[in-house]
Structure 1
């Protein structure tokens, strides 16, 4: 029954995304929230029902706000559709978690040795070597360089402001913001470009952009909202790849433990360069750059999955276990150890990144994956039977 429900939701969701769902199927997804009023039919406790309703409402509000921000030219109906699709997928997996049987052993192990999610943590390193722990810094001015004022806003962002004429700024110096495992941070560069860094990432950038090109270097993953400046290209260099833009929104995943560098475009257009190869991509497309062969491929993708992390969501869509665990390892700052044979199973679903580690692992339990948390180490194994 559980597997049948899972496939049913996935099939409808895929048709909904492609625009081929019947009116009855669309109505089912949009009215699905009302099913939670029938607790006795779903075997949900009152506590479960309240928790899921709050989760759905918060996720919808967050998704709608995000899509309105990054896609202002798109219709409200598209925004509603995209938000509903991701929320329904997360909702269906939440139901599977609540309705699927769990052994008391796994549940107690997770409760006793749980791990909290990551949060806003980063270190800013100035050109003179001074390091500022941003999660400890108070809001307001945190550094003052010649012609440049660096402040921390009330919501935790770091903002570089040019004070007066840029010509009074000395030769631009390089600064670096870096996040640890379990950290993320948002910074606004001196040209107004906003960058959100994911866990275990770093961005090196000049304190002021005075040359014809604006150049930054990325390690790890970041989402960019590039401010438009006529005649000044914005370049992101990472692991031999260069992304060139004038003003647009895109995501780069360049972790060294991932097979390829993924550049995903949400708005505008970008040129991706690797070795002798270069390629233009449009919104909804992604390049896959191979560091070893310098090959560059392009494909159409669902950008919502690639940028789920900026909305504080995990979003798994046909991902294998080791790919999922690399993402989990970075966000929860844990080491992962595999025991026995791990099959190439695929995982679907979403869950807030604000969840404790045990909540994430409940999704994996649905596919006969077992875990044991000991301190900052997670042992993962698989069995052919639940």
Structure 2
């Protein structure tokens, strides 16, 4: 039989024959030899840097394994009640199966289907890095499935590259200015990060769109946004950076700020974290200068400034969904975008207020159960349709 370590790796690749699996399991139970295999497993677990998140699939699989081990113990005890080795062997098998289970989920994590997944339990997984780049020449690239280091070519020249999981636009020389707009869009359940040609960094939230030029020409650096994005602008006092949104323009020199301009929201909000920006309505009227910690709100043609709640504004950047005296219908708009679902509120519950925070890394049921436990509510999930209603008395 081949080397134990090689056989172990073959098992992880799901290429073992039934005879080899039997040999591996039996070898694990041999006196004095179990330590060797345990060391191999431990070394591999320590060499991997993956989140052992307790998902529904993992919990189900491990629960099944534990049940199987318990059945083995009970069956053996009915025949050999005095054998302490039964427990030792069962524990050893469980240790091995548990380790294999984690590897099973880790190895299959790289082969997930795109988009939010509908689980067998009826739950839905959270969003992930997903976006599509459409070049000005009409070429379209799926960035979700783009490999690290991929070079994006435009009209025969290298234009951008996937670096560190984000789209990085290559700096263009002054003699090769191309101001034609490219578009990057994120779907429901998708976020993405890019670096524009001037070195500015942009994080796009779900269901968002950013139009930006292949290279910035002389004058202002202009981009167009629909949805929500967080910006860290490269400083260039001679070339102000302008973010255009429907009904508004935000001009900066170098700063950190967030703009929320979803079509289904009641207002456009611009929140400043660092530096200074000038916000003005495209319908006319005097602009407003924001200072760090302030937020402008454009509703209709009225533009006003108030103190910002940065933790709530930047919840999506921090991996959370935060609501502070926020209505259920407002919270569900966030949920719909992040989990890729359609939400129906039955009855007079849309204006119910909630206070709390949940992780955006959890499945959909996490936030729904939180709301359910806070108020007298219940819900159903059917495919990508969510219905929330008052509990029956």
- Specify if TM > 0.5: yes
| Structure number having the greater helix percentage | 1
Structure 2 portions without partners, runs of 5+ = 1-52, 55-118
- Partners in 1 of 2:336 and 2:357 — Cα distance? 16
Give 2:128's aligned residue: 119
- The match for 2:384 is 376
Q: With structure 2 as the length reference, what TM-score do the two structures score? A: 0.67
Residue 162 of structure 2 is aligned to residue 152 of structure 1: yes
Q: Normalized against structure 1, the TM-score is what?
A: 0.68
263, 270, 282: which one pairs with 1:263? 270
- Give the match for residue 173 of structure 1: 180
Alignment correspondent of 1:289: 298
* Separation of aligned partners in 2, 1:331 and 1:316: 15
Q: CA RMSD in A?
A: 2.0
Deviations 1:92-130 (A, max 9, x none): xxxxxxxxxxxxxxxxxx982100000000000001100
- CA 111–141 in structure 1, closer or farther in 2 if over 3 Å, else same: closer
* CA 1:111–1:131: 2 relative to 1, 3 Å: closer
Contact 2:293 2:307 in 1 (8 A): yes
The 5 Å alignment of 1:22-61 reads: none
The equivalences for 1:15-94 within 5 A come to none
Distance in 1, Cα, partners of 2:276 & 2:348: 43
Shift of 1:271: 0.6
Asked if 1:241 corresponds to 2:248, the answer is yes
Equivalence for 2:328: 321
Return the structure number with greater relative CO, CA threshold 8 A, min gap 6.
1
Contact 1:148/1:160, CA 8 A, preserved across alignment: no
Q: How many angstroms does 1:161 deviate by?
A: 1.2
1:93 — aligned with what? none
Q: Is the 8 A contact 2:194 2:202 kept in 1?
A: yes
| Alignment partners' CA distance in 2, 1:112 and 1:149 | 44
> Any residues of structure 2 matched to 1:216-365 within 5 Å, and which?
216-274=223-281, 275-277=283-285, 278-290=287-299, 292=300, 294-342=301-349, 344-365=351-372
Asked if the contact 2:336–2:342 (Cα under 8 Å) also holds between the matched residues in 1, the reply is yes
- Cα deviations by residue, 1:38-83 (Å, 9 ceiling, x for unpaired): xxxxxxxxxxxx98xxxxxxxxxxxxxxxxxxxxxxxxxxxxxxxx
Deviation (angstroms), 1:335: 0.4
Residue 114 of structure 2 corresponds to none
How many Å separate the matches in 1 of 2:309 and 2:169? Answer: 33
The answer as to whether partners of 2:126 and 2:364 remain within 8 angstroms in 1 is yes
> Which consecutive unaligned segments of at least 5 residues does structure 1 have?
1-49, 52-109
Deviations 1:130-183, CA, capped at 9 Å, x for gaps: 000001111113313476530001x311000125x321x143221000000000
2:138 and 2:330 map into 1 onto residues whose CA distance is 35
